[in-house]
Structure 1
Amino acid sequence: MPMSSAAHPADGGRFLHVVPDDKFIDLAIESFEQVAPGAHAYVHLACPTSFRYLRSGQVMRLGLRQALSADFLAGLERYTAVFIHYLDDRARLLVNACTRKVNLVWIGWGGDYYHLAGERCQLLLPETRKLVEATSPTVSEEERRELARSVPEEPPERDESGAELRVRVRRLAIGPGGRDEIGLLNRFRLFGPVLRQDYELVRTANPGFLPAYVRWNYPLGPAVEEDDQLASGQSILVGNSAAPTNNHLETFRELANSWGGSRRIICPLSYGADAYADAVEEEGRRLFGDRFIALRSFLPFHEYMAIIRQCSAVVMGHFRQQGFGNILHMLKLGATVYLREQNPICDFLRGHGLPVRRFGDGRPLAEAVPASPEQVADWRRKIDGLFGPTAHLESTRCLLATAAQSPPLSGADAGTDDELTSGMAEGEL
Structure 2
Amino acid sequence: MNYHLMIDDKFINDFIIDAEAAAPNQNVFIIDAGPHQIRHVKSDLAIFAPYHSPLFLETIKNIQENDQVFIHWASDAAINFVLQLPEKIKTGLFFWGGDIVEIPYSIYKKDIYGRLSLRYFEKYEERPKVKWNPLKPKRLFRTLSNRYWKYKANEQKVLETRIAFFARLNYFFNWNILDFDWILKNYQTIAVYKYFFYNFNPVPAQELVAKAKIKQEYTTILIGNSDTTTNNHMEILETLKKFKSEAIKLVIPLNYGNKKYGDLIEKRAVEIFGRDKVIALRNFMDRDAYYSILDNVDLAVMNHYRTQAAGNTLALLYRGKKVFIHERSSTYQLLNTNNVQVGNSATIAEMSFHEFSSVPTADSIQHNIKAIDQLFRIEEKKAVLKDALA
TM-score by length of 1: 0.76
Counterpart check, 1:220 vs 2:207: no
Range 392-401 or range 315-324, more displaced = 392-401
Tell me the distance in 2 between the aligned counterparts of 1:188 and 1:174.
18
Q: Would the alpha carbon gap of residues 68 and 304 (structure 1) be closer, same or farther in structure 2, given more than 3 Å must change?
A: closer
The answer as to 2:70 corresponding to 1:89 is no
Aligned to 1:201: 182
Checking the alignment, whether the CA contact within 8 Å between 2:22 and 2:385 is kept in structure 1 is: no
Letter in 2 for 1:213: Y
Of 114-123 and 315-324, more deviation after overlay is shown by 114-123
Kept in 2, the 8 Å contact 1:92–1:174? The answer is no
**Percentage identity across paired residues of the two chains:** 23
* Alignment partners' CA distance in 2, 1:90 and 1:68: 15
Cα–Cα, structure 1 residues 142 and 238, in superposed 2: closer, same or farther, change >3 Å?
Answer: same
| 1:375 partnered with 2:364 | yes
Partner of 1:180: 161
- 255, 261, 266: which one aligns with 2:251: 266
Label 1:71 to 1:329 Cα distance change in 2 as closer, same or farther (>3 A).
Answer: closer
Q: 2:382 maps to what in 1? A: 396
Q: Does 2:333 correspond to 1:342?
A: no
CA distance in 2, matches of 1:249, 1:271: 17
Cα shift readout 1:66-125 (whole Å, capped 9, x = no counterpart):
479887555222664221101012212211221112211011100111136962133112
Gaps of 5+ in 2: none
Matched, 1:307 2:287: no
Mapped partners of 1:272, 1:382: distance in 2: 31
SS at structure 2 position matched to 1:264: strand
Letter in 2 for 1:281: E
Change beyond 3 A, Cα 1:146–1:129 = farther
How many angstroms does 1:22 deviate by? 0.7
**Following the alignment from structure 1 to structure 2, what is the Cα–Cα distance between the partners of residues 226 and 48?**
36
SS state of the match for residue 348, structure 1?
Answer: helix
Question: Equivalent residue for 1:20?
Answer: 7
Q: What secondary structure does 1:55 align onto?
A: coil
Match of 1:125 in 2: 114
- SS of 1:43's equivalent? strand
Contact 2:15 2:199 in 1 (8 A): yes
2:51 is matched with which residue: 47, 64, 73?
64
Give the RMSD, CA atoms, in angstroms: 3.2
- Is the 2:203–2:315 contact (alpha carbons within 8 Å) kept by the matching residues of 1? no
Name the CA distance, whole Å, in 1 between partners of 2:286 and 2:14: 13
SS in 2 for 1:113: helix
Structure 1 residues 192 and 383: CA distance shift in structure 2, 3 A:
same
- Does the 8 A contact of 1:73 with 1:98 survive in 2? no
Instruction: Give the length in aligned residue pairs.
Output: 369
Amino acid at match of 2:380: E
Q: What corresponds to 1:279 in structure 2?
A: 264
SS at match of 1:367: helix
Secondary structure, aligned partner of 1:104 = strand
Kindly state the Cα deviation for residue 357 of structure 1 after the two structures are TM-superposed: 1.2
- Cα pair 1:67 1:94 within 8 Å, conserved: no
Secondary structure of 2:171 counterpart: strand
Counterparts of 1:171 and 1:135 in 2: how far apart (Å)?
A: 18
Letter in 2 for 1:56: S
Letter in 2 for 1:285: V
Q: Which residue of 2 aligns with 1:295?
A: 281
How big is the shift at 1:358?
1.3
Normalising by structure 2, we get a TM-score of 0.83
Judging changes above 3 Å, is the alpha-carbon distance between structure 1 residues 30 and 223 closer, same or farther for their aligned structure 2 residues?
farther
Which residue does the alignment assign to 1:7? none
Partner of 2:310: 324
Cα distance in 2 between the residues matched to 1:172 and 1:330: 37
Is contact 1:110–1:193 with CA below 8 Å preserved after alignment?
A: no
How many Å apart are 1:194 and its aligned residue? 4.9
Judged with a 3 Å threshold, the aligned counterparts in structure 2 of structure 1 residues 182 and 227 are, in CA distance, closer, same or farther, namely same
Q: Are the counterparts in 2 of residues 86 and 112 from structure 1 also a CA contact under 8 Å?
A: yes
**Is residue 31 of structure 2 the alignment partner of residue 44 of structure 1?**
yes
Report the Cα offset of residue 182 of structure 1: 0.6
Higher relative contact order (CA 8 A, sep 6+): 1
Distance (whole Å) between structure 1 residues aligned to residue 272 and residue 23 of structure 2: 51
> Residue 179 and residue 140 in structure 1: after superposition, are their counterparts in 2 closer, same or farther (change >3 A)?
farther
Aligned to 1:210: 190
Task: Answer whether contact 2:51 2:78 (CA < 8 A) is retained.
Answer: no
Q: 2:97 aligns with which of 96, 106, 110?
A: 110
In the alignment, which residue of structure 2 is the partner of 1:249? Answer: 234
Deviation at 1:274, TM superposition (A): 1.1
Counterpart Cα distance in 2 of 1:199 and 1:145: 45
* Shift in alpha-carbon separation, 1:67–1:266, aligned structure 2, 3 A: same
